[in-house]
Amino acid sequence: MRYEFILQHSSEWEVTLQCRVLEVSRNGYYAWLHGIAGKRKKEDLEWMPLILKIHEETGHTYGAEWIAKEVNKRGRRVGKERMRRLMRAMDVKVQCKNAWMVMGMTNSSKTYQPSPDLVKRKFYREELDSLWLSDFSEFPSLGNKIYVVAMQRNVDLCTVRCTANTQAPRV
């Protein structure tokens, strides 16, 4: 960006003066002007295929910090900030699900009819163990989904106890 500025204003100010003010070397400016890539740019170009390979091998789940560690394990030194810059330039993004995101189970489509109201909206009962309410939540995990079921015995609808939980591939 600085080199482009120097090029645009070279007719107004001397290149040497602009380089001094913008704190860049004259040699670097002329190398850029003639299309000669610097050492850093050459290294960046060498790393790009390796970054893409690691990104593919890990199933698009490694971010800049982990890819930098993997590159370092393979005998090349790179920092996580430089890796972030390279991945951003290559538009390489992590594709993973939020591990704590609760998956919605309700289908709000108009084609599904609601379940019948067997309780008839009367949530209070005189006798014990005459009405049980339950609900379950689905949580993604590293394999199967985890379903947690909460059962509630209707005494006064204040007593809540979790009576069962299970891990299964489907409900």
Q: Is residue 92's pLDDT more than 80? A: yes
Which spans in 22-162 are helix H?
26-33, 39-57, 64-73, 80-90
Percent of the chain clearing pLDDT 90 (strictly above):
2
Q: Is residue 156's pLDDT more than 50? A: no
Which carries the bigger pLDDT value, residue 13 or residue 114? 13
Residue 15 contacts residue 24 (beta carbons within 8 Å): no
Name the band, by pLDDT with cuts 50, 70 and 90, for residue 155: very low
Which spans in the chain are helix H?
2-8, 15-21, 26-33, 39-57, 64-73, 80-90
Task: Give the integer Cα–Cα distance in Å for 142 and 87.
Answer: 26
- pTM equals 0.42
- pLDDT tens for residues 20-69? 988 888 888 888 788 776 778 888 888 888 889 998 888 888 888 898 89
Sheet holding 161-167, edge to edge: 132-139, 146-153, 161-167
Q: Give the DSSP letter of residue 169.
A: S
Q: Could you give the angle at which helices 64-73 and 39-57 cross, rounded to 10 degrees?
A: 100
Name the band, by pLDDT with cuts 50, 70 and 90, for residue 93: confident
Q: Count of H helices and E strands in the chain? A: 6, 3
Q: How many CA atoms lie within 13 A of 133 on its CB side?
A: 16
